[in-house]
Amino acid sequence: MEKQSPGPARCGGPSWRQEGPPPLPRRWVRGPGDEDARAVRLPWPSTAALTVFVLAGSHFAAHVQTGRAPLDAFAHGLLVAGCGVLLVRRRHPVVAVFAASAAVMVYLGAGYPYGPVFLPVMVGCFAAVVAGCRRQAWAAIAMLWLGHLLVAHWLYRWLPPAGDGAAPWGQELGIAAWAVAIIAVAEVVRVRREQWARERAGRAAAAKRRADEERLRIARELHDVLAHSISVINVQAGVGLALLDSDPEQARTALTTIKSASKEALGEVRQVLETLRARGEAPRSPAPGLDRLPELVEQAASAGLTVETTTTGRRGTLPPGTDLAAFRIVQEALTNVVRHSAARTARVEVAYERGALVLRVDDEGPASGGDAGGSGNGLIGMRERAAALGGTIDAGPVPAGGFRVTARLPLAAEAKEDA
């Protein structure tokens, strides 16, 4: 089993884990979900630069603050230790901030000069707050401030350098303001980082939702194309087998119908799949619409079903999505008649009403009761198509016998009407 590197420490707060698309390019502040090798590398360059700066600044402060203890090997060790512990600030931010605070406390207690010695604590506190370890960072800062208060105002008599006096109280206010400023900046960065993480998670969820919707659309389209054509093929194959010996000419006609239906199905399947292979490109052939209703009637007739069609109202120019949905709903309804009904006659009514297109498909029944090999998703697919356009589907038996499917699809008020 492959051993994984430990990720950055998490002390609390929401975890926004990104799934689906690849993560966005890295920023200087990483989100909580970016747990890869780059997020857990030891920050050698920044820590080395900080160490050099602290050592140089402390030597400069030693020349200015002549009343403090001179820098010796122990002082240099404390400075290097306070900076070096920041190497683990990404994996263990709490350890880093407390260790840096402890090193600075010992440094000040030993009477060494002030200077950039507080910078390691600033960096450690910043890393802890951004990682979500807010309380621990506050506790480390409070420990350092209280320790300095104790050393500078009560223990200075027994600590080096000799003859040192109490620190002014104004200095304590300055240190407190410095600590509050560090925490405030770190909190702002933490909030901004979580906002970035939420945005990334939202974009990933939106991309996944679009992909799911596209898969559902393609599955629905393939189901409608194949269900209708294979139903016709199934019926004609049965006719051909039954008449192969007694009426070869009629069997030939059935085989011709099978060939035509399968060719049309292959063409429509190819059109659907082309939209996957060439994303963003226009399809090579127009999507089917109600202008192809005579083709459905002809295919149903080849399966032994007589279809009567009527159109009422003033026909308007339908939006492409509505036109395709109307065609597929009528296609699926006629397919269900061929599969599940013993009726040999069906009626299709297309009504252009004010603000809506109403489709009604009736058959006189009764149900055939045979296994037609359907998937059971036909009515579900019709309802999904209608719901996607804000419409409705009503399907069920009628009191006089038979089965009725009624679809109501809303039309935009500004749809143009044919003259």
Least confident window among 17-31, 92-106, 165-179, 308-322: 17-31
What's residue 250's pLDDT? 76
Q: Is 211 a member of any domain?
A: yes
Confidence class for position 272, pLDDT limits 50, 70, 90: low
First and final C-alpha spacing in the chain:
72
Give pLDDT, residue 163.
Answer: 66
Say if residue 232 is in the same domain as residue 146.
Answer: no
Give the pLDDT band of residue 375 (cuts 50, 70, 90): low
For the segment 26-34, the average pLDDT, to the nearest whole number, is 42
Q: What is the pLDDT of residues 232-255, one digit of tens each?
A: 777 777 777 777 778 888 777 777
User: Helices 169-243 and 119-130 sit at what angle, rounded to 10 degrees?
Assistant: 30
pLDDT confidence of 31, banded at 50, 70, 90? very low
CA dist list (Å): 418 to 316, 318, 335, 405, 415: 5, 10, 30, 27, 10
Please give the pLDDT value at position 33.
45
Same domain? For 249 and 358 the reply is yes
Residues 222 and 90 in one domain: no
Orientation angle between helical segments 169-243 and 134-153, nearest 10 degrees? 170
Tell me the C-alpha distance between 284 and 27, whole Å.
42
The rounded distance, in Å, linking the Cα atoms of 190 and 187 is 5
Q: What is the pLDDT of residue 289?
A: 85
Q: Scanning the structure block, which residue is given the tokens 């105002």?
A: 153
Band (pLDDT 50/70/90 cuts) for residue 226 is confident
Does residue 198 belong to any structural domain of this protein? no
Calpha distance 64→72 (Å, rounded): 16
Q: Which of 137, 167, 197 is the last residue of a domain?
A: 167
pTM for the predicted model, two decimal places: 0.47
Please report, for residues 175, 223, 341, 376, the alpha-carbon distance to residue 372 in angstroms, rounded to integers and kept in the order given: 83, 15, 10, 10
Specify the higher pLDDT residue, 20 or 96.
96
Residues 128 and 255 in one domain: no
Degrees, nearest 5: CA angle 141-143-146: 105
Q: Are strands 392-397 and 403-410 parallel, antiparallel or unpaired?
A: antiparallel
Residue 16 lies in a domain: no
Q: What percent of the chain has pLDDT over 70?
A: 79
> Is 115 among the domain residues?
yes
Based on the fold, state whether residues 127 and 247 are members of the same structural domain: no
Q: Please indicate, yes or no, if residue 271 is contained in any of the structural domains.
A: yes
What's the chain's average pLDDT?
78
Share of the chain above pLDDT 90, in %: 23
Taken in order 10, 16, 21, 23, the sign of the CA dihedral is negative
pLDDT tens by residue, 330-372: 988 888 888 788 888 999 999 999 889 999 999 987 877 654 4
What pLDDT does residue 286 have? 62
The Cα–Cα gap between 72 and 54 comes to 15
Retrieve residue 217's tokens: 């659309």
165 class by beta-carbon count within 10 Å (0-12 exposed, 13-18 middle, 19+ buried): exposed
In this model, does residue 269 exceed pLDDT 80?
A: no
Q: Are 274 and 386 contained in the same domain?
A: yes
pLDDT value of residue 207? 85
pLDDT of residue 220: 72
Q: Residue 237 falls within a domain, yes or no?
A: yes
Greater confidence, 237 or 208? 208
- Position 125 in a domain: yes
Among 110, 138, 167, residue at a domain's last position: 167
Residues 135 and 218 in one domain: no
Closest CA to 287 of 300, 268, 305: 268
Q: Looking at the structure, do residues 131 and 212 belong to the same domain, yes or no? A: no
Would you say residue 417 has pLDDT above 50? no
Indicate whether 130 and 218 sit together in one domain: no
Structural domain span for residue 126: 37-167
Structural domains in the chain (count) = 2
pLDDT > 80? residue 397? yes
Angle made by CA atoms 124, 44, 26, in degrees to the nearest 5: 80
- The answer to whether position 2 is within a domain reads no
pLDDT of residue 273: 67
> Any residues with CB less than 8 A from the CB of 174 and at least 6 apart, and which?
none
297 and 385 share a domain?
yes
H/E run at residue 130? helix 119-130
Identify whether residues 123 and 266 lie together within a single domain. Answer: no
Same domain, 226 and 370: yes
- pLDDT of 225 reads 67
H helix and E strand count, the chain? 10, 5
Among the three residues 139, 167, 195, which one is the final residue of a domain in this structure?
167
* Unique residue bearing structure tokens 């009628």: 398
Q: Which two tokens stand for residue 208?
A: 């996944």
Is the pLDDT at 15 greater than 50, yes or no?
A: no
Q: Which residue has the higher pLDDT, 359 or 270?
A: 359
Give the pLDDT confidence score for residue 281 in this predicted structure: 53
- The CATH number assigned to the domain holding 271 equals 3.30.565.10
Say if residue 374's pLDDT is above 70: no
Quick one: pLDDT at residue 92? Answer: 93
Rounded to whole angstroms, the Cα distance separating 119 from 54 reads: 8
Would the pLDDT of 25 be above 90? no
CA 216 to chain centre: 17
